[in-house]
């Protein structure tokens, strides 16, 4: 018996597109969420080593549903963010 498995789909979003989906201002995403709860290599990538950022929707959606604390590793800081080393 053979089972067919479809390859995982990855949806890449710009900051503007992510903003529309999660109802956060683009500035909030860039200044408050990026690198505190949205981590490079996990939630976003910089294609070809450039400056442009593309967010990985499926990972972000999964973590929003699970709660970020369960998937975040780091040292809690006084300002509420985490230090990632």
pLDDT in tens, 25-58: 999 999 999 999 999 999 999 999 999 999 999 9
Distance CA 68, CA 62 (A): 9
Please say whether the dihedral angle defined by the alpha carbons of residues 55, 70, 81 and 21, taken in this order, is positive or negative: positive
For residue 44, give the 3-state DSSP assignment. strand
**Counting beta carbons within 10 angstroms of the beta carbon of residue 69, is it exposed (0 to 12), middle (13 to 18) or buried (19 or more)?**
exposed
pLDDT in tens, 54-85: 999 999 999 998 865 544 567 777 777 777 76
Instruction: Quote the radius of gyration of the chain (alpha carbons, Å).
Output: 15
């Amino acid at each position: 018996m053979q089972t067919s498995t479809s390859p995982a789909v990855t949806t890449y979003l710009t900051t503007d597109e992510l903003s529309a989906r999660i109802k956060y201002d683009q500035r909030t995403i860039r200044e408050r969420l990026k690198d505190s709860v949205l981590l490079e290599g996990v939630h976003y990538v910089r294609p070809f080593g450039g400056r442009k950022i593309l967010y990985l929707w499926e990972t972000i959606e999964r973590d929003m549903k699970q709660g970020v604390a369960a998937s975040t590793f780091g040292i809690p800081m006084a300002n509420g963010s985490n230090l990632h080393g």
